[in-house]
């Protein structure tokens, strides 16, 4: 434990809100940060309305706060309740800061960043923002009321952490340099977990996916690629963990292509490490992502990774542990999966590369070397 750090920062609020079906890397990251801080002797309170995140935190005895959050994205650009309920939305954070005696707020989603920063300004509490890929869309397509509030809050954030240089570059296209004085890039790390190998047929080759079942995650590209793969590698099975709005459509697609014997939809797993320790290859065919945790977790678990050449993924995926592929190209994915699954020497080489490089991606390394010194600096300067 960093004793000097513990003297300056003892309590931190970590806020992350999303739709209930959206438990993914950003939500897992909130848990990772809170758990990592707890390991360093710092009390963390996680603010959210995502049931899985709250449950995950409570299971680890991490403090939680279920806040007020609007779910109806369709009407949020003009929703008059934002005007009427601003005192309540801000007041809940003021109350939480007062209740927890927080030394710092870490805000990782738009509404939390707006109203949490307003509350922090009122209480004199320093604020750090994390961007998990949302900011580039917000600054490119500003909202009417929320845009003014967002830019005001951004100006009052003590630091804004970008999770990849690629994301920072995209922000720079729409945000003046004068508004980026407090931006800093810190690549994500993943928390090393433990699990128990799942029951699996000994004669099968398991291809794993972990993520939200959303079209943008490339799940339909994966199904199209699988239809080609199983013709050359008939013992391949695709095990997918996660949930989302396209689950029913995904099941229909699998059925229509005659792939029901080659796919298992596992739903939300409370411990994805069970799957990572079971699989032979991990795939992540996303269409866009800032710096997703799932591929890093796979590398740490010693799994070869096939991932899209998107966002910050090239910055974090060691070439010895994985292969970068173009997104939205099922043929390229099918060809590479066939190559990897058909050649044991290729699979073994990538597996050894993952084992050798996984330690560098572990969350604890990023926490102690980058986050903790930064948090301490922010608190001391506030």
pLDDT tens per residue, range 151-202: 899 999 999 999 999 989 988 888 888 888 899 999 888 888 888 999 999 8
**From 86-90, 182-186, 282-286, 294-298, the region with the lowest mean pLDDT:** 86-90
What digits encode the pLDDT tens for the residues 39-55?
999 999 999 988 888 99
Model pLDDT, residue 244? 87
CA atoms within 13 A on the CB side of 120: 30
pLDDT of res. 5: 43
Q: What are 127-156's pLDDT values in tens digits?
A: 999 998 888 888 877 666 667 888 899 999
Sheet with strand 11-15: strands edge to edge: 63-66, 43-48, 11-15, 104-107, 127-131, 159-162, 183-185
Tell me, what's the pLDDT at 102?
96
Assess whether pLDDT exceeds 50 at residue 4.
no
pTM: 0.81
The count of other CB atoms within 10 Å of the CB of residue 249 is 13
Topology given in CATH for the domain delimited by 3-190+363-381:
Rossmann fold (3.40.50)
Q: What is the pLDDT of residues 14-27, one digit of tens each?
A: 999 876 656 777 88
Assess contact for 246 and 215: CB atoms under 8 A. Answer: yes
Q: What is the pLDDT of residues 315-331, one digit of tens each?
A: 989 889 999 999 999 99
- What single DSSP character describes residue 368? I
User: Rounded mean pLDDT of 231-237?
Assistant: 97
Q: What is the pLDDT of residues 77-113, one digit of tens each?
A: 545 666 677 888 899 999 999 999 999 999 998 889 9
Give just the sign of the alpha carbon dihedral 317, 291, 276, 258: negative
* 199-213: average pLDDT: 93
CATH 3.40.50.2020 fits 205-361, yes or no: no
Identical topology for domains 3-190+363-381 and 205-361: yes
Looking at residue 3, what is its pLDDT? 45
> Quick one: pLDDT at residue 382?
79
Burial of 9-22, coded b for 16+ CB within 10 Å and e otherwise, reads bebbbbbbbbeebb
Q: Which 8-state DSSP code applies to residue 199?
A: P
Cα–Cα distance measured from residue 298 to residue 361, given in angstroms and rounded to the nearest whole number: 10
Closest CA to 60 of 41, 42, 38, 40: 38
| pLDDT computed for residue 175 by the predictor | 86
Q: Supply the pLDDT for residue 7.
A: 47
Residue 341: closest CA among 211, 199, 238, 213: 238
Give pLDDT, residue 70: 67
Name residues whose C-beta falls within 8 Å of residue 335's C-beta, 6 or more positions apart in sequence. none
Q: What is the dihedral of CA 211, 216, 220, 226, to 10 degrees?
A: -60
| DSSP H/E element including 283 | strand 281-284
Q: Does the pLDDT at position 378 exceed 80?
A: yes
Write down the pLDDT at residue 84: 74
Interatomic CA distance for residues 281 and 354, integer angstroms? 11
Predicted pLDDT at 176: 83
Least Cα distance to 160 among 83, 105, 215 occurs for 105
Q: Where are the alpha helices (DSSP H) in the chain?
A: 3-8, 25-39, 51-59, 81-100, 110-123, 135-140, 144-155, 165-172, 219-232, 247-256, 273-276, 293-300, 313-316, 330-342, 344-357, 363-366, 372-381
Helices 293-300 & 25-39 angle (0-180, nearest 10): 60
Domain boundaries, the chain: 3-190+363-381, 205-361
C-alpha span between 175 and 136 (Å, rounded):
9
Query: What is the Cα–Cα distance from 291 to 113, expressed in whole angstroms?
Result: 19
Percent of the chain with pLDDT over 70: 92
For position 6, what pLDDT does the model report?
43
């Amino acid at each position: 434990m960093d004793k000097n750090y513990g003297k300056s920062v003892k309590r931190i609020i970590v806020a992350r809100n999303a739709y209930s079906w959206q438990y993914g890397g950003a939500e897992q990251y909130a848990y990772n940060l809170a758990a990592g801080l707890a390991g360093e002797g710092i009390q963390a309170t996680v603010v959210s309305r995502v049931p899985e995140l709250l449950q995950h935190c409570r299971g680890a005895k991490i403090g939680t706060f279920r806040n007020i959050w609007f779910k109806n994205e369709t009407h949020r650009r003009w929703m008059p309740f934002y005007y009427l309920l601003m005192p309540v939305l801000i007041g809940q954070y003021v109350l939480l800061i007062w209740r927890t005696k927080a030394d710092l707020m870490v805000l990782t989603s738009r509404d939390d960043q707006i109203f949490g920063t307003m509350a922090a300004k009122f209480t004199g509490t320093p604020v750090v923002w994390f961007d998990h890929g949302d900011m580039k869309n917000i600054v490119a397509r500003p909202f009417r009321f929320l845009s003014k509030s967002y830019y005001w809050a951004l100006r009052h954030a003590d630091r804004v952490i970008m999770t990849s240089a690629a994301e920072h570059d995209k922000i720079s296209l729409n945000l003046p340099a004068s508004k980026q004085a407090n931006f800093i890039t810190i690549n994500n790390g993943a928390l090393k977990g433990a699990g128990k190998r799942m029951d699996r047929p000994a004669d099968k080759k398991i291809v794993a996916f972990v993520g939200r079942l959303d079209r943008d995650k490339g799940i339909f590209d994966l199904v199209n690629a699988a239809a080609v793969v199983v013709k050359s590698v008939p013992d391949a099975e695709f095990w997918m963990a996660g949930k989302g709005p396209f689950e029913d459509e995904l099941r229909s697609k699998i059925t229509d292509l005659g792939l029901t014997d080659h796919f298992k939809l596992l739903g939300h797993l409370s411990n994805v490490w069970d799957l990572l320790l079971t699989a032979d290859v991990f795939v992540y065919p996303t269409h866009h992502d800032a710096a997703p945790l799932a591929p890093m977790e796979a590398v740490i678990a010693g799994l070869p990774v096939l991932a899209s050449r998107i966002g910050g993924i090239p910055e974090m995926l060691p070439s010895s542990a994985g292969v970068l592929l173009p997104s939205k190209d099922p043929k390229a994915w099918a060809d590479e999966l066939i190559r990897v699954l058909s050649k044991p020497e290729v699979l073994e080489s990538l597996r050894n590369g993952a084992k050798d490089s996984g330690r560098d991606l572990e969350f604890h390394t990023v926490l102690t070397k980058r986050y903790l010194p930064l948090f301490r600096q922010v608190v001391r300067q506030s």
